[in-house]
Structure 1
């Protein structure tokens, strides 16, 4: 009998530990005992042990965990075992040589150009439901993630784009990828920036994606190193068809290293306000104006060799130098623009997945995908300055489906790009 009673008590104790449901407490206003909810469960203990201080349920379905900055996922990377977090850049490059040069030529004072990117911080839907406390960083809980579902390919090529003729672009093509980009290469680059109009283009099938971003790259097409950031609609990675802020990196052409956001370790976050992979709140809706811009700056810290990501003055975080070899020195190519991934790009029917706004390029800002405030970071006269590239060329490998328009008549060039694929009545795509 004693053994049986002990067994019952053990089972009840085990159930209590697992569920953490109730304990008995005496109500001060009553002689009767009442159940009292226990706030500390096994799950809570586990989450706190892994650095989760607070969780925020977003109305879009995402769960944002506010994680102790010193327990964030990146620090589990073998190369970052003893990494000391750099809380802010050693410097913030601000001198804009392009605007100064243009204004001097026009006899004007140093006033912002019409195409200057406004310093607005990313707004994300989860912000409506709370914020992360100091000392934590917001990490999107990966509920529907498949990091290996969609490949990222090199957007740099064996020889310089400037050496290619219009009739010899075969080595620019990449299987299952359609590009419409402004590109520059041939110089050492230490950063790039621009203001990208944010849209929510149609994604026809769940294994396809559309993105608009800024990328810096070095190395050969099979073993390239790259850092990229912008917005993306990617059902295979995020589980829906919404525009999300993303980062991506690889140090070996995507064979063994690299990934989106925090899905695998690598990117060190310092901002408590921006969650990688979270849905962007303000989306451009053609034909309404003005277009909503996502301002992105990616630049190398010359003292630590870390590559920082900044949006609207918010220092989001960085890729540590330990992740790379060639990018520790500089980037060899920069691109701004759009990329569509589909296995039906050169078939009939062509995919109806859109790029940019989902409409063809147009100099009307609120109708088309666009990037303004285009800059690269270079050393000029012993100083780091933001400047429009000395040489930059647009390129699209399926102009009937996704085209471009580089406007250089204004006081600051703007790159327009995009298209509907085979979707829509106005489509010229087969």
Structure 2
């Protein structure tokens, strides 16, 4: 999906002039700009690991990672672990045999030494596929939807800026493999934020986890189920926001770059997300993308996507289930969601998923609504 014919780019170099423009010189200039961008993005590595999936993982000195290109972090002192540790809890789950842990593919081929962080290398062809070098890795367009200030839960997510976005297939070679990634912004992706470490901001501390890397195993229909244990929590002593992958501390968003999030979050959400540019007259389908397995939420365990052990940390600094919890499905003709408990004392499972089909067709009323709020 979203592949581009790169050969046409090189074919331009065969032309000497086109309308008075030296196309060959322009091509050389573009390649030069790409090389400069690559040098900026890919920091010098102490060690490099070639993964069987084609990725290259660079082990970069922790003090030379991209985060320190940010002006506010020039004098930042790295913190390796949060000062506040929130106790984890075990809960009664619907399925006694818990899903297996996911590992990253590159870990089969080696490991990064202590004092380095594992960073997936950006490739030249990924920059060639980008719409622009300036916005490479930035998640979202130049504008965002209007803000709806109503308190109606049916429009809950409309109460915040909701820019168009995707998980950036061109950034990851459009190979369709599931990857661990982060994205962040301070202003609806107008000027700040990006995916992973492409822009300065997130401070990585882990030499074990590489953001943007693939997983070595995935769940299969009616087969083995795998899961990721992810936690993001706020350290009140420093105002950093920490990312944990199972028991591994991946890194943090430092207080120096944050605004409103320095003290607390206003909303926490879990779920799935797809994007398409085809929501317009003449294109009845939202997207060809499945959400996860593509199975509806009602298919439950072994078929649908699931999230469990959902918790928030409130003012008491205790892990709690967000009660009351509710779900929102923006496009119910295409996708579905369900909060399910096998019995009253079991852990709630949040199921979601779906895929476009004959029912995933937009009527004129929806298209008009979409046009009005865009």
TM-score by length of 2: 0.74
Distance in 1 between the 2:109 and 2:153 partners? Answer: 51
Q: CA distance change for structure 1 residues 132 and 122 in 2, over 3 Å: closer, same or farther?
A: farther
Distance in 2 between the 1:351 and 1:119 partners? Answer: 30
Gaps of 5+ in 1: 1-45, 97-110, 174-218, 224-231
Cα distance, 1:363 vs structure 2: 5.0
Distance in 1 between the 2:310 and 2:146 partners? Answer: 18
Distance in 2 between the 1:277 and 1:66 partners? Answer: 14
Q: CA distance change for structure 1 residues 236 and 353 in 2, over 3 Å: closer, same or farther?
A: same
Cα distance, 1:362 vs structure 2: 2.8
Aligned to 1:113: 92
Q: CA distance change for structure 1 residues 71 and 62 in 2, over 3 Å: closer, same or farther?
A: same
- 2:67 is the alignment partner of 1:74: yes
Aligned to 1:336: 270
Aligned length: 304
Secondary structure of the residue that 2:86 maps to in structure 1? coil
Cα distance, 1:122 vs structure 2: 4.5
**Equivalences for 1:225-244 in 2 at 5 Å?**
234-240=168-174, 241-244=176-179
Preserved contact between residue 138 and residue 193 of structure 2 (Cα < 8 Å): no
**Equivalences for 1:396-407 in 2 at 5 Å?**
396-407=329-340
Aligned to 1:310: 244
Aligned to 1:42: none
Cα distance, 1:59 vs structure 2: 1.1
Cα distance, 1:91 vs structure 2: 1.9
Cα distance, 1:125 vs structure 2: 0.8
- 2:111 is the alignment partner of 1:131: yes
Q: CA distance change for structure 1 residues 154 and 355 in 2, over 3 Å: closer, same or farther?
A: farther
Distance in 2 between the 1:306 and 1:274 partners? Answer: 19
Q: CA distance change for structure 1 residues 113 and 254 in 2, over 3 Å: closer, same or farther?
A: same
Which of the numbers 418, 421, 425 marks the counterpart of 2:353?
418
**Equivalences for 1:47-58 in 2 at 5 Å?**
50-58=43-51
Distance in 2 between the 1:268 and 1:247 partners? Answer: 12
Preserved contact between residue 306 and residue 321 of structure 1 (Cα < 8 Å): yes
**Equivalences for 1:9-88 in 2 at 5 Å?**
50-88=43-81
Gaps of 5+ in 2: 1-38, 131-135, 362-374
Aligned to 1:286: 221
Distance in 1 between the 2:47 and 2:323 partners? Answer: 48
Secondary structure of the residue that 1:322 maps to in structure 2? helix
Q: CA distance change for structure 1 residues 157 and 312 in 2, over 3 Å: closer, same or farther?
A: farther
Q: CA distance change for structure 1 residues 222 and 393 in 2, over 3 Å: closer, same or farther?
A: closer
Aligned to 2:207: 272
Q: CA distance change for structure 1 residues 126 and 154 in 2, over 3 Å: closer, same or farther?
A: farther
Cα distance, 1:50 vs structure 2: 5.0
Q: CA distance change for structure 1 residues 120 and 319 in 2, over 3 Å: closer, same or farther?
A: farther
Distance in 2 between the 1:220 and 1:360 partners? Answer: 27
Which of the numbers 140, 161, 168 marks the counterpart of 1:221?
161
Larger CA Rg, structure 1 vs 2: 1
- 2:24 is the alignment partner of 1:91: no
Which of the numbers 362, 372, 387 marks the counterpart of 2:298?
362
- 2:122 is the alignment partner of 1:142: yes
Q: CA distance change for structure 1 residues 50 and 288 in 2, over 3 Å: closer, same or farther?
A: closer
TM-score by length of 1: 0.65
Preserved contact between residue 145 and residue 162 of structure 2 (Cα < 8 Å): no
- 2:322 is the alignment partner of 1:389: yes
Which is richer in strand? 1
Structure 1 residues 367-387: Cα deviation after superposition (integer angstroms, max 9, x where no partner)? 00111111111123xxx1111
- 2:368 is the alignment partner of 1:428: no
Preserved contact between residue 292 and residue 305 of structure 2 (Cα < 8 Å): yes
Cα distance, 1:251 vs structure 2: 0.9
Secondary structure of the residue that 1:406 maps to in structure 2? strand
Secondary structure of the residue that 2:260 maps to in structure 1? coil
Distance in 1 between the 2:106 and 2:74 partners? Answer: 31
- 2:246 is the alignment partner of 1:324: no
Secondary structure of the residue that 2:180 maps to in structure 1? strand
Secondary structure of the residue that 1:352 maps to in structure 2? coil
Ranked by relative contact order (alpha carbons within 8 Å, sequence separation 6 or more), the top structure is 1
- 2:229 is the alignment partner of 1:295: yes
Q: CA distance change for structure 1 residues 338 and 389 in 2, over 3 Å: closer, same or farther?
A: same
Which is richer in helix? 2
